[in-house]
Structure 1
Amino acid sequence: MKYLIDKTISFNTDDGVLAQTDTDNAEIVNLSIPAARLLEEFTRSGGRELTREYLLENVWEIHGLQATDGNLRQYISILRRNLALLGCPEFIVTIPKVGFKANPDIPVIASNPVEFDETISTFGGGDSLPPSRTNTEFVRWCSILFALFLIAGLSAFLLHNRMATTVLPGHYVSDDGCDITYVKDIPDATRKGNVALITDILRKNNLQCSRDNIVIFDKEISAASDNNSRIMLSFCYTGKNKEVISCENFYEYKKVEK
């Protein structure tokens, strides 16, 4: 399903993409799965009041995810920040002691997906490409590969937590305290060199790593072509005991400049 918010922002619930529709150089935001589910609740609510309990259950609990008020506040903040970036800062209204609602003064129109131009985008506001069967297959395989890399990275992170006295080969802490775990073992100089790239990716997506986060990262050159590189990054929020609460996932596939 697609929605048009405030006549200028398209929201595709299938891939979590928010995009401006009224400019040539449109800003594009790729929402994480929980953020996209949360925004969908607002866009299809018709301005009804949505209690905290309702949102926690329908965005997290029924999908088998941990639901806390902290999660809800965090993702409400993420949505507000991204909507403001696209020119609609007042879409989500707080109802004290109850929950939230979509601003009834901002129109939301549900639309059949064929009424909008489909786009496939990379993070960081990259260029959009017309859809094709090849692109669709590519995105599907990238998603599968990313899931495998993410599982491997999280396994390494959990092993690191259980073996507190052991520093894993793929583990690195930057000067600002950002806890970075690399999916595979790479030279120490390469790990340090990737910090600038990781920082740039987070900056493009309005994120900043701190001691309350962990970043799982992988970069590799395609085996099929030495001119193609694939970058996969998972930005995770952690609890008091460094347990992973939720993650935002990003990937990029591009030509390597020679």
Structure 2
Amino acid sequence: MRFDIEGFITFDTEDASLVNVLTGDCIELSQTSTRLLAELLDHHGDLLSRNEIFQSVFDKYGARASNSNLNQYISTLRRNLCDLGVEKEIIVTVPRIGFKISEEAIINNDREYRTPCLEEKQAEAPAQYPITRYRPLFTKALIVAFVCMLLLINVEFSRVDNSTQKVVQDKCRIFMPSALSLQDVTDSFNLASQPLDCSSVKDVYVYRQQIKSTIGNYMQLLIVECKREKSNCVSFYVREQRNV
């Protein structure tokens, strides 16, 4: 099963990995950590007692179950999420009872996954047929086709910013490279014909990358906009007007 966390982190239980889709950073998890995170995410918003976790994550698989063991795995998962750029507290401790995933966390799984961070924003179309069972295969086919296209045009991506700054604008929290200004981000929204709207609570992630290919060199921004009160993220690319 695959989970989407905060719109830019994917957790694949089969690969036992956490991936930041904006930077490509990946953290491999142990089998026990994978089972623990999957159990918590599968019960998003529900409180799981320590005994429930011991039985479903440890005892069932012959792993050692103890309070100190569980605390260590929880601490490691929190550090992993933090290392990948998640500032929100995803795993909440309920003293003397157990743990749960924060109700404020934006979580999707592959039963309802709509690739919010990989698809460019487009008009919604009414669903005609249930396609959930085919979605993983379709997503893999898209990835293969995209990689083939990059190989054909000899594209090279490179990061141009290593540090990130957080800017608060009205009800928006904007995470962007330190080389950019708030005006740069606002102008990028205007270029995409969708002005930056901070009248509602949302997080905006801006990732800047340089693209080198046989068809020219240019700089582009990947912008991901997530509404914090809903499990809804959209993304789009904006090419900078000046060439590199």
The TM-score bracket by the shorter chain reads 0.3 to 0.5
Name the structure with the higher strand share.
Answer: 2
Q: Which has the higher contact order (CA 8 A, sep 6+)?
A: 2
TM-score normalized by the length of structure 1: 0.43
TM-score normalized by the length of structure 2: 0.45
Name the structure with the higher helix share.
Answer: 1
